[in-house]
Structures are given as structure tokens and as C-alpha cells.
Structure 1
Amino acid sequence: MCVFQRVIPFVEKNDKLLDPQVEAYRAAVSFYEQFPHPQYKETLIVMPTGCGKTGLMSLLPFKLSSGRVLVIAPGKIIRKTVFQELDSVSNPEETFWYKRDVILDRDLFPKSYVYKGWNSKDQSDRDRTIDKLKSADIVITNVHKITGSSPEQCLTNLIEKDFFDMIIIDEAHHVAADMWQKTIDHFTASKIIKLTATPVRNDGQKVSNNPYDPIYSFGLGEAIKNGLIKDIIRKEEIPDKLEFYNPKNDQTYTPSQARALLGDEWVNETLIMSESCSKTVIKHTLNTLKKKRKSYPKHQVLAVACNDEHAKLLTKWFQDEGATASYVSSHLSDFENETRISNFANNEYDVMINIQMLGEGFNNPNISVISMFRPFKSISLYAQVIGRGLRLIREPNARESDNFCDVIYHKELQLEELWRKYKSEKAYADIKQTNITIQLSIDDFFNLGAIEKTPVPNRTPRDKSTPNEEPGTIRFAKRGDIKSYMSYGLGNEDSFSSGGLDRYRKTNVQTAINLEFKQQKELAEKREKYKKLLESGVIDASEYNSLLSEMEKSNQQELQAKHDELKGFILLEQMRADFEIWLNSKVTDLFTRISLDEKGFELWEDAGTLAGDRINNIGYIVSNIRKTSFERTKKRITAYNAEDFAHAKESVNSKIDFYLKSYPTMKDKE
């Protein structure tokens, strides 16, 4: 029996785990119990940056995988970050399993191996690599090493198709690439779990085609509401006077005239290459940094450039204003990039200028100011940049004001539409919270008698559509110049969450945020006790390790025994909790896609039976879904088994499809 079936992880009631980690793990276990068929082997989990995706990847194999696990990262930075959490051989005390008390006996930790290729000139190195792969429980690599390397380097040419039982794909919105799909098609894994903060690929298509996906979704708005990531404050540099100069005809234009006559691209390229405009944003950026460092001295800036030439200019301009700054670029060597990134992580630079290098997986909580010096065509790229500043600062001396991320850019970059789309996550979180309240208040849903009517033919749908935008590669050359420039100052401040801007202003003078976390007392106390005995010379290293091992084995055995005793009850409770969360997400998503307002009463009125208390559209749909499930199973949800939950989810999808057809948006009708 493999380690993932033999060892029971400590997940439920583990205070060291984040709620979305527990809920997402529960959702995965529940789903594959309910839908064991191969057609449903691919699933999707949506979680934003900073909410524990790497930890979740450490949890997912347990109880789900019957063999080896392949973890695929899109690049080297993420691969390195993931391995640090799973390196049980050389650094077990730094693993997620140890730090979060997920596995109490370190002798039971899975063995992890990073596949980086092998020396093609040395056949013995190939043999050693295969041996390492076979001895590993988890193999971590980036996608290019699976199908994109030279033939002899490809992982697919070293091992059999059935080598892995589970595949976990991080940052799955990259799955559109041929290499990702070739990997999925090549291996015969029984389960493929994709994780992403962006459920839409960079080409605008969905990441998954599973009708029950995402099996779990935890949005950005929810993460901020729950204090798991920083809130976001947007600030625009507003020009008091701005004139563009075209050297080709010696003419001067206002911004609107320049856009109309010369085009957005000309204006954007001129703006971002302008020293006067850029230095104004830089001064605002450094002033913001200076204020933030009064309470926490390690705050840093991530600036976003267009290309190498632009990055070099920004580096010089930041340095001109007294900041320590550097940049990373694909045109630099791996060694140079890694050195600069390491120095930035060690707080040797105030500012790091980035050209699509420090993307997903780059983990530096001290980034609290994002300074944008380029336009964006894609909401996903815009969101990825902001995501680098969302990780929470958990230092005990950090104040509440330190856990805001200031996003600063020039108003004429015209990023307002992307900010509006990005901020719509907050509305989604508000609706979802409303749904939870309503669901919990409806106990006798099957007695409400809610029946759908046929679609109303002349109802005018509410237009909620937004056009898909294709990302593009941006290369700029200076086309014009700024004739004159005067700054009005920073303005148009806004916060991602409701009330966030008020809290941001107040917390600059408030006391330190309480970042205490509950501990598993017995483990923590005994570890500390044994450590003191070792340091005082009462016991030696051998006795210390023996005591630790005995204590850890005892705790793990107790956990396993309790789980074996209650495993049926635990699994059903997990499935029930998962169903409530999944249903809530489905209904929330529905109201972002149909023409009905969640607080309206059209459905209750259209039903034609006006007896009883009025029930709004959210309550009506939830009660209708629950009524249908009850009529099919003749059971309350507390008596459901795995098959019942599967049927209930099937009914939910059917109802959702009905309402989508009955009350489409203008975009859906087209």
C-alpha cells in the first residue's frame, strides 16, 4: 500500500491549516468519492495567491492517490517554491507536513524528487535518474522537462505511461499550451487536479470542461474578507497639464486629440518612455514606500516594465530618486536573475523592475507597492501583476496598515476598465456571503412548493456582458515626446473591498495587528521541552531524536486510530460540508450570468402561487434545488451517502442550466 493510502493526514480541526486548504481538500476527497468514473478524472480548484495553494498540493495526494504523484509547475521559480515545502529528505522540518502538523510522524513523510533532466553524455546518470524517480512518492518538475526538452531529456521517454496515479497542475490557466495537453494525454493517471487563481486561460477559454468544476472556488474577495491576503488600494497619478508632441509634424496635442489622431498605442508608448511622467509616478511610489516603512521597515516595491530598454530606464530613474533598484529579464543569465531575485528577497533592493519574470509562484510578502509603467490588454496579466503584492505579512511587529497593497500608475494608461473587472470579485464575494445566509436559514426547503414556470418570452435581460480581451506581446519604441507636464497629484483612490479605503486610512495610526495562531499544544510543548533538555545538556542528540520520534509516532498512531474508528462519519461530514460550499458557489456564479437580480422577487411572482411569505430570487432558486434533490432521494441531506450527493450535484447542474436558458444575459442570447 502506498504512503498516501497508508497515512492519515491531520486535516479536520487542524488549527494550523487555512480554511480554504481544508475546504478544498475536503472537496477533492468528496468529489472523487462521488464521481469515481474516468470521465471525471480532471478537476479544477480555484484559489488566489497567498491562500495556501502550495500547502494544498501537499495535502491532495492523501486518501486520493494510489501511487506516485506528479506535480507540474509552469516555471523554475514555482518548482523551487513547491519543492521547499515537500523536501522531506534534506529538510523535513521545513516541509508543510511538519510545520502544519499534517503528518505527526516524520518517518512517514512522502519522499519528493525534483526532476531537472540528466546528463545526456553519461548513460549512468540516466540510470541514476530513473532510480530516483522510482524511489520517489512525489516528482516535481516544470512542464518543459516533460515534453519540451530534447528527446532524451523528456520525462515521457524515461518512464511508463502508468508511472503516476495522480497529476497536480499548478497555475493551470497555462494549460492551453500544447506541452501541458500532451502531458495530460500521455499519462494514464486516474486523477488530474488543476489549481489556479485564474479560471480563464490566457486565450480567453475555460481551463476545464468538467461540468462540476470548479469543485472548489475561493475568490479574491473572500480571501480579503477573511484576512488571508492584503487588501488593495489603487491610486492614479492625475496630470494637471499634459501635452503630447509629435516631432514628425511639429504639432502639440491634448491626450484626447493624440488618441484620436495618432492612436492609443502611440500615446501609451510616448507616455511610458517619458522621463517626466514616469518620474512623477516614481516619486509617488517612493513617498508611499517611505510612509509604509515607518511602521514596517521591510516594505518593497515591484515595478512593471515593458521590455529591457524600458526596465533599464526605470532602474536608472528610480536610482536618480534615491532608491536602490535592479531589474530581472529573460535576457539575463539564470545566475544573474537568481542572484538579483535572492538579493531582493533579502531586502537589499527597495525596488525590483520586472518584465514578466516574477510571475506566479514568486513569494515575497514584503512587496506592498506595485508600480505599473505599462498598459495591459488582458485582465489575467493585470491580475497576475497585482497578485505579487497580495501575500500577507505575518511578522508579529507588522501593523494592520502594513497589510494593504498600494497599486500606483498613471491615469493616462487607462487601466480603469481592468480595475473595474478585477474589483468585480468583491461583488461576487458579497453575493456568495448572502447565499450562505439564505441557505442556512432554509430548513424546510422541500415544503415550499417552488415550481419553475416556462421562460417568460418578452422579459428584457439585463446586460452583464464584458468582452473577452486577448493578451498581446508589447514591444515599445519611443514615438513622440511630452511637450509639457505638470502633476495634479495622486487621486481616484479606491479599495478592492468595501470599506477598505477607510480602514486603510485608519490603520496607519492603529496598533499592531494580532497575528497569533493557535497551535497544536501537545506537540509544540513537548518539542520545546525536549529542545531545552538538549540545550541544557540533560540529554544528548541521540536521546533527543529518540524522544521526538517516539512522541511523533504516538501522536500519529492516535490520529490513525481515531480516523479508523470514525472514518465513515468523517467522510460523510466532509461530503455534506463540501456540498454546501459547492452549491453556494454555483448559485453565486449563476447570478453573475443571468438577467435576474439576486434580491428581486420575479421567480416567486412568476410561479403564480402567491401564498406564504415572499422569497427572493436567491432563496427561490436554492429552495427549488433542494426540493428537487429531496424528491429524488427522499432523504434529508444529513442522511445522504456518496451516491446521493452525486445525484444532488447532477440536479444542481440541471437547474442551473434551466435558469441560464430562462433568464439569459444579452451576451448569452447573442
Structure 2
Amino acid sequence: MELDKHAHQSKYQLYSGNVIKSLTVNNLGKLYPHQIKALLAVKAYFDSSPNIPEHPALVVAPTGAGKSGIISLLPYVLGSAKAFVLSPSLCITDQLEKTFGLKNENVKDSFVFEIGLVKEEDLNGFLERGLVIRNATAPVNMKWSNLVIVNAQKFSTRSSCRLAMPTALQEDCDEEIRDMKAVIKKIQENFMSFTTLIVDEAHHYPASTWDLIVKEFKGKQIVFLTATPYRGSGKDPLWKGQEITHKINQQTLIDNNTLRPIEFREVKNSEIPWSTNFGESDWQLKKLERIILEIINDHDRQVPGVQHKAMVLVNTIAEAEDGSAAMDRSTYYTSQDGTQNLRAFENGLYRILFVCGRLLEGYDNSEISVCVILRNVGSPGIFTQFVGRCIRTNPKDGSDTVTAVVLSPEVYKQQKNFNEYKNYNGLI
């Protein structure tokens, strides 16, 4: 794609027509058809009216559908003057930073280069050099950046970059209140210059901080992306009158080998009489480990060259530690013990990773082919996000014949969640 040499516009405005033309003629072999359809559907949504629609555009994308790639192209497709990208976690922020070509100034990591949209020598002229907000120790000046990526919690009422006053303040703190109001005003002024808000993992809306940020973009382009477009109960939409702009069909992605098929295996009480007290269940955990290893070793035989792994969801840090200690080939990832254990898991030192509250979304590791649930999961959203960890194909050349497995003891009653997951996603 040839790049024009202009100034005074954002790169998104400058090259919007070029990108849309490339999408329309579909000459990008590494960009999936479902990604193109989603991007063009969002553009059509905003083009359908002379005024900005009242509600956000909503794209429903199964885990593993290439949502980060879609997000990185949206500002070009929409011709954004300034784009603000909201994420729920540092893990996802890191991923988006790489996809936008911002990580360590290595523009060749960018999605536009990966799919062949832009030549290497043209990357610096094509990409916006955005701002990634990693801390909130002081008010952030965003007005000089045409791209900002940030974790939503950086603007919570507990942050120095807050958008609202804390619900309770100590007495005799007039100066503190004035300072807080000054920060809020500055952040709001920063937001005024942005034209587009892109919300990743939008099922976190309408949590208070997310709601505050979205309200700042009223009357502007807002795009929500999520695999689960409902609140925690699984019944209530994200907002009243919600309509889906575009839904990517999971079965289609399975059929074209982008995602693995998935099955549910329930461990019957007759096989392992399960105890929900982890401190008294070492032998049950060891027996469960043998079942897990049997499954992932079978996956290794189906796809030689890939060391398949399992992720186990529990309730607490103590359960993660106890469960990991009982199994020989496992470790755990928690807020207290994170990076080192995760790297050991990724490097193959361990085959099983216990998690509780972390890595349930936005963690991409296509070696994971088994998800184990050792807790009651009442939220369809949490269920969907977690089992999405095991459905990415590896490799993506059609040779991955593995069927992902969701494994759970009978006592946790997860068959219902799996049935609802299949029905919602139209799985055969």
C-alpha cells in the first residue's frame, strides 16, 4: 500500500481510505474474513446516520477471534482524529501495546505489518506513536497523543487520575478536595479532544469506573468488543435497548481451523469422590492430575511438536497453592506469585497452571488445550472467558486436530454452563 505524505491529520485520518480500500478488495491474505466483516460492519453502523448513534457499536467476538487485530485497525477504518483504547488489565494493555506497534519501539510487532498491510520501510510513517498509561501517580496529559491505551482502573476513585470524587473524605480536607477537583477537570479536558473510544472486554461495563469513562465520550464514536455481551447474570444486556452490530460465529471459526472444537467431560463422583476442601484432598488432586496428563499427552500425540498444557480455575490463593503443591507437574499464578511461575509454565517446566481471578481473559497461550474448573462458577461470562483459554489452534495451518476439553468434577455442576455456552455460540 502506497503512503501519501501529508501532515496536520492523524495517521488514522490520513490513511483511512487506503485501509478501507484494502479491506474491501480483500487483498490481505493474513487478515481473516470475519475480521474484515466486523470492521466494515462497525464503519457501516456509524455511516448509517448523519449523527453519532446513541448507543455504542457492539462487536461480539469469541475468544481467539483476533479481537486485538480488529481493535488496532478500527481507528483507521473510522478515520479517528484521536483514539482512546480502554482495557481491563495490564495483561491486555501489554497485548494491545504490541498489536499497535508500540512495544519497545518494535514496529514490526504491529498487526498491520503482520498481515502485510504496510511494508516495513513505511511502518514509521503509517503508525501512530501512542501513549500507554501504566501508572496513575500523577495527572496524565494525553492531549498530545492521537492514541492512548490504558487500564480502566487508572481512573478509579482511588487513583490520582480519578474521574470522580471518593464517596467519603476525611473532615477538614478542603485543600485535598480542591486538588482532586483540579485533577478531575484536567482529565476531563484531556478527554474532550478524543473522537473515538474503543472498549476491549466491554462486559466490564457498566462498572462504575468504566461507566464514568464512557460518559465522557457521549456524542462520540464508541465501540464495544466482547465475547460475552451481558452482565454477570448472563441475562441482562450491557445497556437498555442493546443491539449487536456484528457477531462473529464461533462455529465458523472452528470450521476454518481458527479455533478448536470443544467438549465437556464431567468427573463423576464414582470416579473421584471429590472434596471441596483442598486441604483434605491430596489424593483426589493427584488422581485428577493423572486424568489431565492423560488428556494433554494424547493431544501431544495428535499434534507432534506442541507441548499441550492445562489451566485450572480455583476460588482462592490458598487453593491455588494447595492444589499446585499436590500435583507434581503444576504451578500457580496469583497476584502474589505471578511472572516467574507463569514463565516457568510457558517454558514447559510445568504442564498445569492453577489460577484464581487472574489470566481469565486476555491471556493468549495456544498450547493450553484443557481447562479445569474446581469451583462453582455461577456467571456464564466467567465460564465463557475461562474456557476461551483452551480453544486457540496451534498451529493455525490446519494440522491442529485437537478437541479442547473442559473438565470439572460432578459436584461443581458445570454441565449447565457448558450447554448454555454451546447454545449461545451456535456450536454443533
In 1, distance between residues paired with 2:371 and 2:82? 40
Letter matched to residue 30 of structure 2: K
Contact 1:168/1:193 (CA < 8 Å) preserved in 2? Answer: yes
Q: What is residue 166 of structure 2 aligned with on the other side? A: none
Give the alignment partner of residue 31 of structure 1, picking from 45, 64, 80. 45
What is the rounded CA distance, in whole Å, between the counterparts of 1:148 and 1:392 in structure 2? 40
Query: In 2 relative to 1, CA 153–390 (structure 1 residues): closer, same or farther, beyond 3 Å?
Result: same
> What is aligned with 1:143?
152
Match of 1:49 in 2: 63
Determine the structure 1 residue equivalent to 2:379: 378
Residues 279-338 of structure 1: per-residue CA shift (max 9 Å, x gap) = 32221101112222232342111111121221112101211xxx2x211123x0xxx412
Distance 1:147 1:65, change over 3 A: farther
State whether residues 87 and 95 of structure 1, in contact with CA within 8 Å, keep that contact through their aligned partners in structure 2: yes
**Displacement, 1:41?**
5.1
Q: Is the 8 A contact 1:103 1:109 kept in 2?
A: no
Matched, 1:216 2:228: no
Could you say what secondary structure the match of 2:311 adopts? Answer: strand
Which residue does the alignment assign to 1:410? Answer: 409
Q: Quote the offset at 1:203 in angstroms.
A: 4.4
1:279 to 1:186, Cα distance in 2 relative to 1, 3 A:
same
Give me the whole-angstrom Cα distance separating, in 1, the residues matched to 2:326 and 2:363.
Answer: 25
Confirm or deny that 1:280 pairs with 2:298: no
CA contact (8 A) 1:328 1:354 kept: yes
Q: Is the 8 A contact 1:200 1:206 kept in 2?
A: yes
Alpha-carbon distance between aligned partners in 2 of 1:73 and 1:202, rounded to the nearest angstrom: 18
**Matching of residue 109 in structure 1 with residue 105 in structure 2:** no
The 3-state SS of whatever aligns with 1:201 is coil
What do residues 530-572 of structure 1 show as CA deviations (whole Å, max 9, x unaligned)?
xxxxxxxxxxxxxxxxxxxxxxxxxxxxxxxxxxxxxxxxxxx
Match of 2:342 in 1: 341
Q: How does 1:483-522 map to 2 (within 5 A)?
A: 497-498=427-428
**How far did residue 65 of structure 1 move?**
3.8
Q: Once the two structures are superposed, what CA deviation does each residue of 1:59-108 show, in whole Å capped at 9, x if it has no partner? A: 11114144110000011111111111112470111100111123443122
The answer to whether the Cα contact below 8 Å between 1:161 and 1:188 also exists between their aligned partners in 2 is no
Letter in 2 for 1:386: V
1:3 is the counterpart of 2:3 = no
Specify the alignment match of 1:16 in structure 2.
Answer: 30
Does residue 185 of the first structure (1) align with residue 215 of the second (2)? yes
Answering whether residue 107 of structure 2 is matched by residue 92 of structure 1, we say yes
Q: Partner of 1:24: helix, strand, or coil?
A: helix
Cα pair distance change 1:100/1:371, threshold 3 Å:
same
Task: Note the C-alpha offset of 1:26.
Answer: 0.5
| SS of alignment partner, residue 31 of structure 2 | coil
User: Deviations along 1:151-204, whole A, 9 cap, x unmatched?
Assistant: 356685444341210000000111020000000112456101000000112144
Residue 232 in structure 1 maps to residue 262 in structure 2: yes
Q: 1:32 to 1:103 in 2, by over 3 A?
A: farther
Q: Please say if residues 199 and 207 of structure 1, whose CA atoms lie closer than 8 Å, have aligned partners that are also in contact.
A: yes
Amino acid at match of 1:326: T
Superposed, 1:545-584 pairs within 5 Å as none
Structure 1 unaligned runs (5+)? 121-125, 244-266, 429-496, 499-670
Contact 1:165–1:189, Cα closer than 8 Å, also in 2: no
Do the aligned partners of 1:268 and 1:375 also contact (CA within 8 Å) in 2? Answer: no
Give yes or no for contact 1:164–1:189 (8 Å, CA) kept in 2.
Answer: no
| Aligned AA (2:371) | I
Q: Is the 8 A contact 1:221 1:425 kept in 2?
A: no
Assess, with a 3 A threshold, how the Cα gap between structure 1 residues 64 and 210 changes in structure 2: closer, same or farther: farther
The 3-state SS of whatever aligns with 1:361 is coil
Normalised by the length of structure 1, the TM-score is: 0.54
> Paired residue for 1:391?
392
Q: How does 1:442-453 map to 2 (within 5 A)?
A: none
1:207 equivalent in alignment to 2:238: yes
Deviation at residue 57 of structure 1 after TM alignment: 0.4
For residues 202 and 362 of structure 2, the distance between their equivalents in structure 1, rounded to whole angstroms, comes to: 12
How many angstroms apart in 2 are the aligned matches of 1:309 and 1:189?
46
Distance 1:228-1:171 versus aligned 2 partners, 3 A rule:
same
Runs (5+) with no aligned partner, structure 2: 1-8, 164-182
Which residue identity lines up with residue 376 of structure 2 in the other structure? P
Q: What are the Cα deviations for residues 116-141 of structure 1, in whole angstroms up to 9, with x where unaligned?
A: 23554xxxxx6xx52xx334221000
Higher alpha-carbon deviation: 17-26 or 61-70? 61-70
- Contact conserved, 2:88 with 2:201, CA < 8 A, in 1? yes
Aligned partner letter, 2:117: V
What secondary structure sits across from 2:29 in the alignment? coil
Asked whether the equivalents of residues 333 and 353 of structure 2 are also in contact (C-alpha less than 8 Å), the reply is yes
Q: Give the letter aligned to residue 71 of structure 1.
A: V
Alignment match, 2:318: 309
Shift of 1:31: 1.1
- Count how many residue pairs are aligned between Structure 1 and Structure 2: 386
Aligned to 2:172: none
Which SS does the other structure have where 1:240 is aligned? Answer: coil
Correspondences of 1:595-606 after superposition (within 5 Å)? none
Preserved CA contact (<8 Å) 1:42 1:210: no
8 Å Cα contact 2:203-2:231 kept in structure 1: yes
In 2, the alpha carbon distance for the partners of 1:86 and 1:378 equals 32
Counterparts of 1:189 and 1:115, CA distance in 2: 24
**Structure 1 residues 152 and 43 mapped into 2: Cα distance closer, same or farther (>3 Å)?**
closer
| Residue 232 of structure 1: how far off its partner (Å) | 0.8
Tell me if structure 2 keeps the 8 A contact 1:147–1:183: no
Q: What TM-score, normalized by structure 2, do the two folds share? A: 0.83
The structure with the greater share of residues assigned to helix is 1
Secondary structure of the equivalent of 1:198?
A: coil
Contact 2:278 2:319 in 1 (8 A): no
2:296 aligns with 289
One-letter code aligned to 2:312: A
Q: Given the alignment of the two structures, is residue 328 of structure 1 paired with residue 346 of structure 2, yes or no?
A: no
Q: Judge conservation of contact 1:292–1:299 (CA < 8 Å) in 2.
A: yes
- Cα distance in 2, alignment partners of residues 272 and 229 from structure 1: 36
- For residue 167 of structure 1, give the secondary structure of its aligned residue in structure 2: strand
Mark the CA change 1:273 to 1:15 in structure 2 (over 3 Å): closer, same or farther: farther
- Helix, strand or coil at the partner of 2:69: helix
Bigger radius of gyration: 1
